[in-house]
Amino acid sequence: MEEVICANCYTPLSPVLSACPGCGDNIIITGEQKNIIDRVQPNCLIHRYDGSDLLEPAFIIKEGKTNLKAATKLKEYAKPITVPKQKTYAFDQNILSAIQSLRNERTASIRRYDQLIQSHWQQLKPYKPKT
């Protein structure tokens, strides 16, 4: 099993133990009583990088006055990242998917233009001075 996180205190549980070393809870891996986190359960979207249009699904762990502590991957439940509140948005799967697919299309288009430009560059002949 991949690394999992205690749902109570966010201590990483790896390898899987019978009780959490952080809070002492008995670990229940499956079923209704399950108290581990084995994948990020996003409840917001965060914008981390200035100048980028990348939105990341994240889980809010703690709310401060101006900043939030959030996790975008399992590792970050124990070591959350700090995000300004004003760059955090309500989770919206439709908008996230639309932006992600447009970002992918843009990347593919840029690659195609790079290749087209390159194909012209390859036809350039070396300059030969007249003798």
Q: Note whether 23 binds Zn ion by CB under 5 A.
A: yes
CA distances from 105 to 13, 51, 99, 101 (A): 38, 19, 10, 6
Question: Is 8 or 67 the residue whose CB approaches Zn ion more closely?
Answer: 8
Give Dmax (Cα) for the chain.
Answer: 87
User: From residue 32 to residue 71, what is the string marking binding to Zn ion with x (rule CB under 5 A)?
Assistant: ----------------------------------------
Looking at 3, 8, 35, 61, which residue binds Zn ion (CB under 5 A)?
Answer: 8
Residue 17: CB partners within 8 Å, gap ≥ 6?
A: 27
Q: Which of 2, 12, 17, 20 binds Zn ion (CB under 5 A)?
A: 20
d(CA 12, CA 45): 23
- Per DSSP, 85 falls in state G
In the complex, minimum distance from the CB of residue 22 to Zn ion, in angstroms, rounded to a whole number? 4
Q: Which residues make up the interface to Zn ion (CB under 5 A)?
A: 6, 8-9, 11, 20, 22-23
